[in-house]
Amino acid sequence: MTKLSRRRFLQSSAAVAAGSVALPFAGLAQDDAILVGGLHDLSGGLDTSGIPMSQIFELALKEINDTGGLLGRQVKPVIYDPQSNMSLYSQYATQLALKDKVAVVHGGITSASRETIRPIFHRFKTLYFYNTLYEGGVCDRNEITLGTTPAQTVEKLIPYVMNLWGKKVYTVAADYNYGHITAAWFKRYVEENGGEVVETEFFPLDVTQFGSTIAKIQAAAPDIVLSAMVGTGHFGFYRQWAAAGMKSRIPMASTTFGAGGSEPIIMTPEEGDGIITSFGYYPTIDTPANIAWKEKIAAAYPSNTPVLSELAEVTWEGVMIWADAVREAGTLDREPILEVLESGKTYDMPAGKVSIDPLTHHAIRDVYIADLKDHEFIIKEKYEQVPPADTQMVCNLEEDPDANVHHEISLN
């Protein structure tokens, strides 16, 4: 992508955050509309992920309206910007549940945000879709989790890159529950595949300077660097890594690089090429469904086309799967909708086939491994219908439908 294209991406992102390019929802029957909550970071440290998610959220609702609405009614988004601030997440979640009385909420990016709002929606019985990859462990019948878990991506990525590059690993990760638990998954799968994690470092989301860490990695001389860095501040790690001349010396794989879509575009090929990742969606998936979906998005947002990633595509899935369940249930009541979602139905999505595991309410889905080249992820492997969790996921919602926990998964 050219410098002009990257500039346009940044400008369009700012425009979305300012609310100047929202899709039109004029003509709605305001008094009878079905309200659907959207809670994505449109500003703050995670806005590069939250803005595309919100764009796709709105587009999905518009498509529902364009095809007749739900239950003879239109749907209407109720959107708040929590600004990557947990206090605002709590405030807006309570407002969506009690004041706005939305039928469902789609939102949250970090695990910290999810664990702030999930108990609120559980308490007030407001159905919640978490459309984001995460570390695993949530057991809550009120939450539908469609993003990938480490048992789907890390389990595939680790042996793939170890076979390419070697067995000595250095891990860098975000310093909150996602990063810590994902690092533990890294260690588990590295050791299961005969390797060793020589060091693990954690970084708060606002850290932007990584010179001392790069020096430590250079001294440790690993075969691979595994990254679970998160957010705008952590972009600096990849840029400083390349600037130090390390990218050609020690290869890197990640479960987060490109998750929000913006990193491969903002960074130059010299900075990003060769980073291998694993996700449940890439825009380079070459299927009629994905091609048609991308064309639809480009037509809806011609001047501010959202950057597509797993987070954006799974947001589309969340809205469409919820709408399908409402139609089949014939009601907005939570319990009949949950029964439809637990029926094992398979959905054809741009990412591939998706179904919801009734025991955990996580997605069974196709998983991919890809290599970044000139701002595009070149898909190297596809794994079909990978379950969301292995035996370490302690969750059985059929036996305990009232569960409301985030398990600290044992990886011993």
| Diameter of the chain measured on Cα atoms | 65
Cα–Cα distance for residue pair 56/40, rounded to 1 Å: 11
CATH no. of 150-279: 3.40.50.2300
- Mean pLDDT for the chain overall: 89
Domains 31-148+286-366+386-403 and 150-279 share a fold: yes
Does residue 3 have a pLDDT over 70? no
Does residue 9 have a pLDDT over 80? no
Cα–Cα distance for residue pair 186/75, rounded to 1 Å: 41
Cα–Cα distance for residue pair 411/136, rounded to 1 Å: 12
Render pLDDT for 71-89 as a digit per residue (tens, 0 to 9): 999 999 999 999 999 999 9
Does residue 17 have a pLDDT over 90? no
Does residue 7 have a pLDDT over 80? no
What's the confidence (pLDDT) of residue 5? 40
Q: Which two tokens stand for residue 257?
A: 């690089």
Does residue 389 have a pLDDT over 90? no
Q: Is 148 within 8 Å of 365 (Cβ atoms)? A: yes
Render pLDDT for 100-122 as a digit per residue (tens, 0 to 9): 999 999 999 999 999 999 999 99
Rounded to the nearest 5 degrees, what angle is found at the Cα of 371, between the Cα atoms of 365 and 374? 125
| DSSP β-bridge partners for residue 352 | 349
Q: What is the average per-residue pLDDT within 336-343? A: 97
Those residues whose C-beta lies under 8 Å from the C-beta of residue 399, and which sit 6 or more positions away, are none
Q: What is the average per-residue pLDDT within 322-349? A: 97
Cα–Cα distance for residue pair 371/272, rounded to 1 Å: 10
- Domain-by-domain residue ranges, the chain? 31-148+286-366+386-403, 150-279
Report CA dihedral (127, 130, 136, 142) to the nearest 10 degrees.
0
Task: Give just the sign of the alpha carbon dihedral 209, 149, 370, 296.
Answer: negative
pTM above the 0.85 mark? yes
What's the confidence (pLDDT) of residue 299? 97
Q: How many CB atoms lie within 10 A of CB 406?
A: 20
Domain 31-148+286-366+386-403 matching CATH 3.40.50.2300: the answer reads yes
Render pLDDT for 187-235 as a digit per residue (tens, 0 to 9): 999 999 999 999 999 999 888 899 999 999 999 999 999 999 987 778 8
